A = this chain, B = another copy of it.
Amino acid sequence: MILRSPIKHCRNCGAEVAYRLPDDGDTRQRAVCPACDTIHYENPLNVVGTVPYWGDKVLLCKRNIEPRWGKWTLPAGFMELGETTAQGAARETDEEAGAKIEMEGLITVISVPRVGQVHLFYRARLLSDLFDPGHETIEARLFAEDEIPWEEIAFRTVKETLEHYFEDRRKGSFPVHNFDIH
């Protein structure tokens, strides 16, 4: 997760900014440039990922990066400009696991206000059980529900998405789950 430090300088002219209420009726303090009047907005980020499944197993990745080095996660990362949530989720699945997938429906939309993020996970049908993990992943491996290292899952959004995935599969219905983690 990226924790953001305060803005010190204007992205437009480089002058030092001050945090204050802008003059446009805004009710939040923003980094405002005293030289060129640019107002700098900082907003939540979307993290997009997948639950790649192969029969009754799901694909998890062992993290080769901080935070949570060595813990298990679903393939996911920050959504980029120019892509849709599903395209971002597919891109991360390729980058982190080298997995070939067919994208399916949205499973979870989870706000995590403490870190200014929204996490969105999709079901994704694996087209092969051969993986080619990228440099952010130590190992990519399939787990049945009772094999999942629940105590070694990197993030709560991943754990709760996996729980919804397995529960929905038992029920045979796949609604979108929208909730918050505080």
A residues near B (Cβ < 8 Å) are: 2, 5, 7-16, 25, 27-28, 40-46, 78-87, 95, 105-106, 109, 111, 113, 116, 118, 120, 135, 175-176, 178, 180
Contact = CB atoms under 8 A, between A and B. Distances in A.
Q: Which of A2, A11, A111, A118 has the most CB of B within 10 A?
A: A11
Nearest to A114: B82
A139 to B, nearest CB: 18
- Secondary structure at the A interface, as helix, strand, loop or mixed, is loop
A97 to B, nearest CB: 16
A11 to B, nearest CB: 5
- Number of copies of this kind of chain in the complex: 2
A83 B106 CA distance: 22
Given A25-B135, A175-B175, 7 more contacts: A9-B9, A9-B11, A28-B80, A42-B81, A81-B116, A84-B111, A86-B111
Closest 5 CB pairs of A and B: A84-B111, A9-B14, A176-B176, A14-B14, A81-B116
Nearest to A181: B84
Contacts of A42: 81
Contacts of A95: 27
Contacts of A178: 85-86, 105-106, 176
Contact of A109 (B5, B7, B12, B85): B85
